[in-house]
């Protein structure tokens, strides 16, 4: 009986010893990589900003109808040159004309009623209140007629500028809603060309109106155009979270068109603080996106960073190291997420 109780206890102790030995062996077999860390330093620079965008006209008009209706006719095509005051599109006038006629008849009736009550008041057959109500009715009808006539005048689109039709959003026979864009007109004056680009919030605060820019167009390889920052958006785009800026460019005799792809080098007048690290700390770089490793209580932690510029043996980091004090340099090429380090 005593042996039957002692034997299971002996087996339990033996199993526990085996598990402890296995754990010690796993610890002994784990590779510990020797690394070296360096502090992250700060560098204040007025480095250029590299962005890309498209050429556009600074004087653009996105044209639409004030009221809804069926598009009866569009008189222009994309790429066609138009003159100021030229008729570009018109809605079907059946319903609009009927509304104007209704308002006209209502105004005429209200005017007759006012005159009738005025004569009755003169003969003491109507009260002053009736006269005032008739006058009010006539004024309301006259204002409704003006509204109908105003809407009728905006049931057609005329060009507000001399320019070119760069975009056609609708075709004849389609239902146009109130304010829905129908045509996009861009000015064709020689000195109205700009490049619109998006910049991050950190770059936006460095820029101001009048900062210089260098513009290179794929259409004219090997050539550069000069420009200046002419507009800074005061709110970020809700889709990409970037701030749109306009760079007014000098064509320098070159023929430009809306939509030309442009590479822009901005020269901000204000400096910016960058995190500076050795170039050997960068791993898995792809353009401006890269990774670095930091020591997280004896384990390697992989952190994504955004590369700004190369400065000899160092790299200027624009984002990702705000709260990091030291990074791993030597041995980083052999690390993976969670590697044991010393």
Fold (topology level) of 50-58+189-267: Elongation Factor Tu (Ef-tu); domain 3 (2.40.30)
| Per-residue model confidence (pLDDT) at position 11 | 45
Predicted confidence (pLDDT) at residue 18 exceeds the cutoff of 60: no
Phi (first) and psi of residue 330, to 5 degrees: -70, 130
Q: 275-289 as b/e, with b when 16 or more CB fall inside 10 Å?
A: bbbeebbbeeeeeee
DSSP 3-state assignment of 141? helix
Band (pLDDT 50/70/90 cuts) for residue 192 is: confident
Predicted confidence (pLDDT) at residue 37 exceeds the cutoff of 90: no
For 280-302, what is the mean pLDDT?
Answer: 80
| Per-residue model confidence (pLDDT) at position 30 | 58
Are the C-beta atoms of 246 and 226 separated by less than 8 Å?
no
Q: What is the mean pLDDT of the chain?
A: 82
| Percent of the chain residues past pLDDT 70, beyond the cut | 91
d(CA 215, CA 198) in angstroms, rounded, equals 15
Domain boundaries, the chain: 36-43+273-340, 50-58+189-267, 62-91+158-186, 93-154
Q: How far apart are the first and last CA of the chain?
A: 54
For 32-50, what is the mean pLDDT?
Answer: 80
Spell out the alpha helix ranges (H) of the chain.
2-29, 94-122, 128-153, 201-204
Contacts of 37 (CB under 8 A, 6+ apart): 294, 295, 326, 327, 328, 329
Half-sphere exposure of 41 (CA within 13 A, CB side): 9
Q: Is 119 exposed, middle or buried (0-12, 13-18, 19+ CB in 10 A)?
A: exposed
Among 277, 269, 260, 284, residue whose Cα is nearest residue 325: 277
Contacts of 262 (CB under 8 A, 6+ apart): 52, 53, 54, 55, 195, 215, 216, 217, 218
Class of domain 36-43+273-340: mainly beta
With 0.85 as the threshold, say if the pTM is over it.
no
CATH number, span 62-91+158-186: 2.40.50.100
Predicted confidence (pLDDT) at residue 109 exceeds the cutoff of 90: yes
DSSP 3-state assignment of 303? strand
The second-level CATH assignment, the architecture, of 93-154 is: Orthogonal Bundle (1.10)
| Per-residue model confidence (pLDDT) at position 261 | 92
Q: Is 169 exposed, middle or buried (0-12, 13-18, 19+ CB in 10 A)?
A: middle
| Per-residue model confidence (pLDDT) at position 311 | 75
| Per-residue model confidence (pLDDT) at position 110 | 92
| Per-residue model confidence (pLDDT) at position 275 | 82
Residue/partner pairs of 68-72 with CB below 8 Å, 24 or more apart: 68/175, 68/176, 68/177, 68/178, 68/180, 69/95, 69/96, 69/155, 69/175, 69/176, 70/173, 70/174, 70/175, 70/176, 71/170, 71/171, 71/172, 71/173, 71/174, 71/175, 71/176, 71/182, 72/172
């Amino acid at each position: 009986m005593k042996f039957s109780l002692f034997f299971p206890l002996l087996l339990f102790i033996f199993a526990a010893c085996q598990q402890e030995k296995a754990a010690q062996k796993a610890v002994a077999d784990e590779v510990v990589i020797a690394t070296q860390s360096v502090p992250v330093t700060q560098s204040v620079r007025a480095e250029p900003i590299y962005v890309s965008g498209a050429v556009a006209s600074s004087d653009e008009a996105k044209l639409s109808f004030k009221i809804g209706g069926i598009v009866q006719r569009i008189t222009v095509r994309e790429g066609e040159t138009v003159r100021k005051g030229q008729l570009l599109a018109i809605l079907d006038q059946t319903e609009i004309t009927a509304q104007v006629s209704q308002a006209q008849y209502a105004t005429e009736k209200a005017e007759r009623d006012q005159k009738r009550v005025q004569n009755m008041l003169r003969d003491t057959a109507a009260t002053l209140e009736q006269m005032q109500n008739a006058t009010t009715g006539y004024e309301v009808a006259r204002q409704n007629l003006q509204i109908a006539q105003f809407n009728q005048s905006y049931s057609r689109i005329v060009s507000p500028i001399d320019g070119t039709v760069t975009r056609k959003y609708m075709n004849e026979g389609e239902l146009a809603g109130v304010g829905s864009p129908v045509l996009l007109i861009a000015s064709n004056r020689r000195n109205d060309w700009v490049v619109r680009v998006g910049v991050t919030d950190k770059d936006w605060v460095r820029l101001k109106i009048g900062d210089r820019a260098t513009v290179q167009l794929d259409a004219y390889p090997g050539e550069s155009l000069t420009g200046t920052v002419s507009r800074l958006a005061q709110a970020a785009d809700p889709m990409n979270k970037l701030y749109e800026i306009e760079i007014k460019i000098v064509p320098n005799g070159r023929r430009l068109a809306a939509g030309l792809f442009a590479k822009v080098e901005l020269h901000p007048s204000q400096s910016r603080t960058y995190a500076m690290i050795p170039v050997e700390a960068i791993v898995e770089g792809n353009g401006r996106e890269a990774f670095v490793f930091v020591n997280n209580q004896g384990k390697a932690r992989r952190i994504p960073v955004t590369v700004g510029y190369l400065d000899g043996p160092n790299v200027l980091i624009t984002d990702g190291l705000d709260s990091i004090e030291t990074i791993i340099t030597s041995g980083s090429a052999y690390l993976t997420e969670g590697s044991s380090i010393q």
